[in-house]
Structure 1
Amino acid sequence: MIQSPPAPLARARAFAIDVCTPAGPPVPLGGRSRRRWVRRLPYVVAWLFTALMLPLTGYGLAQEYGLGFGLSLSLGVAQAVSLLVAVRRPLLAWAVAFTAGLVAAVAALAGPPVNGDWPWPWPPTTVITMLLLMLAAGMRERRPTLLAIWLATGVSGAVLRGVAPERSSSNVWITLFVTGGILMLLAGALRERGDARRALAEQETISEAERARRTLLEERTRIARELHDVVAHHMSVITVQADSAPYRIAGLPEQAREEFGAIAATARESLTEMRRLLGVLRSEDASGGGGAERAPQPGVARIPQLVEATVRSGLPVELTMPEPLPDAVPQTVDLSAYRIVQEALANVVRHAPGADTRVSVSVGEAGTDLMVLVVNTAAADRDARPVETGGTGHGLIGMRERVRLVGGTLDTGPLDGGGFRVAARLPLTSGPGTQFPTETLTGTTGKEEDSRTA
């Protein structure tokens, strides 16, 4: 039976593993920056200090600390090259340079002091190299790792200083200990701040996408509730005609009577299922005045009343409509045309108060399309603040969904010199496009509506 180690030993082992594990993949320092010069700056600094420290470290260890030429050169290369490694692996680079510094100090203890004026136990070049590596570690590693680096540097310096205090009168190890700690603290704080900002930006992007998708689903649910009345009307007509056919048509065979009865029963069952579906759609806002949604749905014939109400609110609107109205307009197209004009006028009131607006409803040249056009100029008073400075995006999303529902096209956008235009083409004949698309909405927000004030 394998026994687990004691709890203190297990915690110490876990802490050691956490300290010695690099924080994330070897991404270069500054590699996440969008600026090219920031991404290249760590490499430039590393190469510059490597070329500077390599000869100085080797010369200082040989001449001032009495180490052999080969050992001095090897330790100098290890410390200098660690600066290049620090661009991607600061923890590994610090471990290499720190080990080389300890080896140099221990090797120097084996011989008599050569120059008592030089700092002990860290040469000046080693101090500079260690400070640079501690700064790099602070920009990448976690807090436990930084704490371990700081304590290892301080403890080793104090021990070596206590072993041979006569080798130098300066306390350079304290300078490295304090300055290195400050550098790691500042670098770590800046790194954590950058990580927090990136996480916040990612969360905002996710929230924006979720908000856009929720808006789209809300609009589709709203349209589905409104279409219930349209479909229910047709189903009711089918039921009445099927029920009354045996009485209106004399001499029907018994088989035909049974067929009409089956049609009427199926239509009534469909109406019942539709009412259940509508109850589900309205369950979330059953207490919010859902009775208004059960009123008769408006159409093209009520656009003049809509324009008149908008004019009374203070918005100058000019309406152009054919007389008489087109015959046999499908109810879905009829409702969609009214809602598009309603949303467009509401957006003008919210985002461009007082702007001159023109509404045009006409039939295409071929007589197969209903054309809806709403154009507004810039706000009458450029300095006047809009009623709303932002938007939920419901208006334009609702227009697009209604146009897709009937298989039409929609063109929206700002005009030169200010203003906004909404142009919709709604087919008067049935065709493809009678189902909601399944693609997700991206990049559609209320900001597009705000361009009315451009």
Structure 2
Amino acid sequence: MAHGALHRLRQDLFVDAFAFRPMPPLEDAKVSRWVPWLPERLRHWTRWLPHCTVGFFSMCVFLATLTGSGLGSVRGLLVTGFSALVAAGPMLTLFRPVGAYWLSLSTVVVSAAAYVDFSSPFASIFSGSAFATHLAVMVLVVLRTRPRLAIEMWLVTFALAAVLTGVLGSGAGDLPSAAVGCGVVLVSAAAVRAWREERRQVVETLTATAEERGRRTLLEERALIARELHDVVAHHMSVIAIQAEAAPYRVENTPPELATSFATIRENAVAALTELRRILGVVRSADPDAFAESDPEAPQPTLATLDSLLDSVRSAGLNVEAVITGSPRPLPQGVELSAYRIVQEGLSNALRHSPGADARVEISYVLGGLGLRIVNGRPSRLAKPSPGAGHGVLGMRERVQMLGGEMTADHTEDGGFEVAAFIPVGNAAGEAATGGQRA
């Protein structure tokens, strides 16, 4: 243990003691939070307030040390140089904190050797301004580096003070009381530094956890979309395989080349279905409970089944109104499924985050696409905290972007929430959907 303590002492106070470690300015977010009423230009300069404070303190130390001694020709130069040396300690903490400690400690030694009158029993090396400045330097070093430097600097400082007291022939005097007082100050500074470090780590952990939760939610939503799209694509591929197999029997005397082409089409369709099932098996193996709440053989929902969703939401206590504008028409199955899921998630968010509020669902069949709008009012009672807040919006946005659409989600002026999305649907896609349903 002693060897480890000495090793840490050497690493902290001796190895690269004068390394350049500039103190960065305050973060813009902190300045904006502390003084939001200041203009932006003044807030930019406020970032350097700690540096200016330390500089002002050093100037005050210089003037106090300079005026506290008599001035003469040669003595005046010596006093001025010593005052500048004492005042340089706090300033150096901004750039080389450990080096500032050694510089400040050297001023204490010079002050003890040159200015302390040990002929008086009441004099000590702690009575001058050099030691007071040295204590301030140690506090700044602790706040800038790490808490354990407080103990290390305290041990080195008072070990040297005890040696100086013995060498200069003075009694212990106020060495014990000074040691206790400085220890209390340094421990307090170390506690502040430890609290700041712990708070920074907590913020970093919470930020990393939120980012990881967002990425995991995004991956889960993409996996859900992949499972749903599998049913859509598998349906069309199955139709292609069946039609390719039956086509040669619809024509008499089918040419061999045409029969071979249809057989090739069927083989490719079956191979594509096999690959889709294999990929979906990998997705399901990572989430064995993916279909725990629904039947995997059930058909995927569409906007035609929206009434059952609204009825279930109303039975849960949400007063919802549905408005359909435009002429309803068949849409591609992927668009129908995504639109249904967006409405479902929007109403679920209204139930979760706005209890007691009214909701409105607007579906607009317009030229070139489908418009969706889910809006709810202000909640009438306090909502329970939800750990997944914001993840439903992330999933809806992922669905809309997958189909090349646009989406906005934001709070309304009356305290509610609105989700608006537009999913483009080309004419070819609409005709294909119509043709598929007629077939």
Map of 1:28-39 to 2, 5 A cutoff?
28=23, 31=26, 34=31, 36=46, 37-39=49-51
In structure 2, the partner of 1:16 is 10
Q: 2:205 aligns with which of 203, 206, 217?
A: 203
Q: Higher mean Cα deviation, 214-223 or 98-107?
A: 98-107
Structure with the larger RCO, 1 or 2 (CA within 8 Å, 6+ apart):
1
For structure 1, the 5+ residue unaligned runs are 1-7, 433-454
Q: How many residues align?
A: 409
CA offset digits 1:42-73 (Å, max 9, x no partner)? 222222222212332x549x9xxxx9665555
In structure 1, the partner of 2:270 is 268
Q: 1:178 aligns with which of 177, 180, 183?
A: 180
Pair 1:412-2:409 in alignment: yes
Q: Higher mean Cα deviation, 262-271 or 415-424?
A: 415-424
- Residue 257 (structure 1) shift: 0.7
CA offset digits 1:322-364 (Å, max 9, x no partner)? 697413x111111112111111121222222332222232311
1:325, 1:356 → 2: CA distance? 25
In structure 2, the partner of 1:436 is none
In structure 1, the partner of 2:235 is 233
CA offset digits 1:26-53 (Å, max 9, x no partner)? 2339856636344532222222222212
- Residue 128 (structure 1) shift: 1.7
In structure 1, the partner of 2:369 is 369
- Residue 117 (structure 1) shift: 6.2
Q: Higher mean Cα deviation, 271-280 or 36-45?
A: 36-45
Q: 1:397 to 1:227 in 2, by over 3 A?
A: same
Q: Which amino acid aligns with 2:107?
A: A
- Residue 204 (structure 1) shift: 1.5
Q: Normalising to structure 2: TM-score of the pair?
A: 0.82
Q: Which amino acid aligns with 1:305?
A: S
User: SS at 2:296's partner residue?
Assistant: helix
Pair 1:84-2:94 in alignment: no
Q: Are 1:359 and 1:373, in contact at CA under 8 Å, matched by a contact in 2?
A: yes
For structure 2, the 5+ residue unaligned runs are 35-45, 430-439
User: SS at 1:171's partner residue?
Assistant: coil
Q: 2:59 aligns with which of 47, 57, 79?
A: 47
1:306, 1:264 → 2: CA distance? 38
Pair 1:95-2:107 in alignment: no
1:71, 1:225 → 2: CA distance? 83
Q: Which amino acid aligns with 1:96?
A: L
Q: 1:318 to 1:24 in 2, by over 3 A?
A: farther
Q: Are 1:127 and 1:176, in contact at CA under 8 Å, matched by a contact in 2?
A: no
Q: Which amino acid aligns with 2:377?
A: T
Map of 1:32-431 to 2, 5 A cutoff?
34=31, 36=46, 37-56=49-68, 58-59=69-70, 71-106=78-113, 116=120, 119-142=123-146, 145-165=149-169, 171-287=173-289, 289-290=291-292, 292-321=295-324, 325-327=328-330, 329-364=331-366, 366=367, 368-379=368-379, 382=380, 384-386=381-383, 388-389=385-386, 391-429=388-426
User: SS at 2:295's partner residue?
Assistant: helix
Q: 1:31 to 1:117 in 2, by over 3 A?
A: farther
1:12, 1:311 → 2: CA distance? 71
In structure 1, the partner of 2:38 is none
- Residue 278 (structure 1) shift: 0.8
- Residue 9 (structure 1) shift: 8.9
Which segments of structure 1 move beyond 6 Å, counting only runs of 4 or more? 8-11
CA offset digits 1:371-402 (Å, max 9, x no partner)? 223232223xx3x2225555443321222122
Q: 1:79 to 1:428 in 2, by over 3 A?
A: closer
Q: 1:412 to 1:12 in 2, by over 3 A?
A: closer
Q: Which amino acid aligns with 1:298?
A: P
Q: Normalising to structure 1: TM-score of the pair?
A: 0.79
Q: Which amino acid aligns with 1:414?
A: H
1:84, 1:39 → 2: CA distance? 8
1:122, 1:229 → 2: CA distance? 83
2:215, 2:100 → 1: CA distance? 47
Q: Higher mean Cα deviation, 148-157 or 336-345?
A: 148-157
In structure 2, the partner of 1:446 is none
CA offset digits 1:111-132 (Å, max 9, x no partner)? xx68636613444222322222
